[in-house]
Amino acid sequence: MRLQSGLQVEAAPVTRPAQEMVVVSPRWRLPGIPLALTAILAAFVLVPPVRDNPRLVWSLLGVSAGLLLWELALAVVARRRGMAFRLEYVPVRAHWVQALVQMGIMVYWGWFWRDVYAEMPLMLAQLVFFYALDALLAWSRGRVWRLGFGPMPIVISTNLLLWFRHDWYFLQFAMLAVGALAKQFITWERDGRRSHIFNPSAFGQFVFAVVLIATGTTKELTVGKEIAAAFDPPHMLLVILVGGLLVQSLFHVTLTTVAGTVLLVLLNLVYTKTTGLYFFVNVNIAGPIFLGLHLLITDPATSPRTNLGRVVFGALYAAAYFALFRILDVMEIPLFWDKLLPVPFLNLAVPLIDRFARAGVVGRLNGAWEGALRPSAMNLVHMGFWIAFVGVLWGASYIDAPHPGDSIPFWKKAFAEGRSNAGHALVMTAGGQAIQGRSGAAYNELGLICMEGKIVDADRASAARYFAEACDLRDECGCVNVAIQYLFLNERLSDDDVAHALDLLEADCGSGGSGRSCYLVGVAHETGRGRPLDRDRAVELFVQCGEDNLYAARALARIALAENAVTFDIRSVVHCLVDAARRGDAESCWYLAYLYHQGVGLRQSDEKARAFLKAACQFGSVEACEALAQPVLPEYRNPLMNVPGWASQFPIDASEPPEGVD
């Protein structure tokens, strides 16, 4: 391997495949095409996705300015040295076929996730940038610019896997530049021809992945997680399969994809058989890895050229992906990097793999395999096996079918049973359903996970964000938890989110909905938090909850004791509180004690008051124990924020509502 550099006036002769048609241009004295491309790139600041974001505007203008300075410097150097700029039009079939397949996948994906279509102007800007960069790299080295379709598959495949956020979009251009530089300068001799070592799109992403992982900035700077979650529209594997077959029929890379897929299936089946769980959590073969098996490791220039070598190459990729899926999960590194990180290492191993496939007994077996039929006929056999294998997977509902692991209750049960990695799987499933399906229930589950602190560190602020997102999607449990966090824990994302949640809960209560909706709106009116202070309205809402609603009964007792008067039927309150007291509820004992002590709705009796306080003390109420220690019972004090029972009843889990709430 050597790094190429230096300014050369004449390009070395290159042996070209027979299918390449070469058209040589006349000599130019100015880099006119890159100048025109740079002007087009700068004009993208007028496009709506760009002009509305000042930082995105400056990204494009900054990149355009850099190209312009390079072009002007190159023109000056060329004039002094008498250089001329030349190009050859070389439409390599591998490039335009790959580009068509990738664009077909992109268009299909965008039909279901319209963010893809919204991003396409920026993808076009990247393509313009890459063509200008490609020309400048060739001419700066004194070479003929080989104009063709080469930049297209690099840009499109990059955008199928990773976008930087618009505020940091200059990094998208930098990532493409790294791939272009690697293609130009990091080369080696293979089979008598100099070629690049690394898949250009994978190498650029790999370099940036290492930096983003090391700095922990993947989430802040990229939308990679969102892309991975959204890359699962209906029948996406079929679309990738059809496009892959076209590439395989032309470039004989079928074995790489077959070997990788077969090994992934076997490893997954062994794991499921051994543990009863699913290694890949919610799908057996996800769209992104299926894309990687067809896209990242099938570049003819950077993959093995022997049959056995392709098998080994695909199997090594699958094994590395399988291991990284779990390693990154345990290290809490974004999982979408798992399919990308092995590629450059495998590219480096290609000569070693091919030497292994050609040496000794293995080499003789490989030779017999390759010599059994003409290469094109043998490739058809491989493709036939691949189609049959995928057909078996489809028929067995192994792919493109509902997956038992794509279920929050499934992983909650596994986590409750203490099964290995079930907690991480629950987070992944809830996160995937939340982002991809915009599921309010999934966002609520993420909030619960953050509140409980059993799988991840407890984080009330993150829980508030997830609950607010769930409520925005009209998930009742999400709205309930927004209200609970605010009313009892004083945690909220914003006042607007609290008001929105209470509005929806009040509407649900008014239409005969759940008792918990009426209860929480009642608490808001009782305390004057999130709603105007209105005890009469609070009583009305608590009564509407029903006679058997313990939380509402406690609330009515609180109001009666605070007002020292009863404006409603106290018998329903006493009945419910007595039942709860018999079950060991300290808070109900506290209220009953003071109802007797103050004679509110009941015949005054300090004897019964002390009896209930004694029970409350036995059931864990510190306040009751302190009251009993005094010769005269202290005045009533509202236990809303002091009795442990208030904290223990929340948050609300959609699958397990608290006793007495509904």
pLDDT at 23: 52
Distances (CA, A) of 1 to 177, 202, 634: 21, 19, 87
460 and 328, same domain (yes or no) = no
262 and 354, same domain (yes or no) = yes
Residue type, 252: H
Q: Does residue 460 fall inside a structural domain?
A: yes
The Cα 574–Cα 557 span in angstroms is: 8
261 and 277, same domain (yes or no) = yes
Residue type, 640: L
End of a domain among 400, 424, 457? 400
Q: What is the CA radius of gyration of the chain?
A: 34
The Cα 539–Cα 468 span in angstroms is: 27
pLDDT at 15: 44
The Cα 541–Cα 518 span in angstroms is: 5
Contact 544, 518 (CB under 8 A): yes
Q: Does residue 185 fall inside a structural domain?
A: no
Residue pointed to by tokens 């930087």: 164
The per-residue b/e assignment along 574-590, b for 16 or more CB within 10 angstroms, e otherwise, is: bebbeebbeeebbbbbb
Q: Angle, nearest 10°, between helix axes 115-140 and 32-43?
A: 160
356 and 438, same domain (yes or no) = no
Q: Does residue 69 fall inside a structural domain?
A: no
pLDDT at 27: 54
* Number of Cβ atoms within 10 Å of the Cβ of 292: 27
382 and 417, same domain (yes or no) = no
Distances (CA, A) of 491 to 254, 261, 465, 480, 533: 55, 47, 10, 13, 20
Q: pLDDT digit string (tens) for 471-485?
A: 999 999 999 999 999
State phi, psi for 426 to the nearest 5 degrees.
-60, -45
Contact 633, 609 (CB under 8 A): yes
362 and 471, same domain (yes or no) = no
Q: Does residue 558 fall inside a structural domain?
A: yes
> What CATH number is associated with residue 592?
1.25.40
Is the whole-model pTM more than 0.85?
no
- Domain span including residue 639: 546-662
Contact 538, 525 (CB under 8 A): yes
370 and 419, same domain (yes or no) = no
End of a domain among 370, 400, 430? 400
238 and 366, same domain (yes or no) = yes
DSSP annotation of 3: E
426 and 394, same domain (yes or no) = no
DSSP annotation of 656: B
Nearest to 398 by CA among 497, 286, 247, 511: 286
The sheet with strand 23-24 has its strands ordered as 23-24, 87-89, 145-147
> What CATH number is associated with residue 491?
1.25.40.10
pLDDT at 330: 85
State phi, psi for 300 to the nearest 5 degrees.
-60, -30
Q: pLDDT digit string (tens) for 265-292?
A: 999 999 999 999 999 988 999 999 999 9
Residue pointed to by tokens 């390009």: 11
288 and 432, same domain (yes or no) = no
Q: Are strands 2-3 and 145-147 parallel, antiparallel or unpaired?
A: unpaired
End of a domain among 346, 380, 400? 400
SS3 529: coil
Q: For the chain, how far is it from start to end, CA to CA, in angstroms?
A: 71
Nearest to 622 by CA among 607, 600, 637, 602: 637
SS3 15: coil
Residue type, 182: A
Nearest to 333 by CA among 216, 229, 427: 216
State phi, psi for 282 to the nearest 5 degrees.
-120, 5
Question: How many structural domains are present in the chain?
Answer: 3
377 and 421, same domain (yes or no) = no
243 and 390, same domain (yes or no) = yes
pLDDT at 28: 58
Longest pairwise C-alpha distance within the chain: 111
DSSP annotation of 303: S
Regions of the chain with pLDDT less than 50: 1-15, 17-19, 640-652, 654-662
DSSP annotation of 635: P
Question: Token pair of 147, please?
Answer: 């104009």
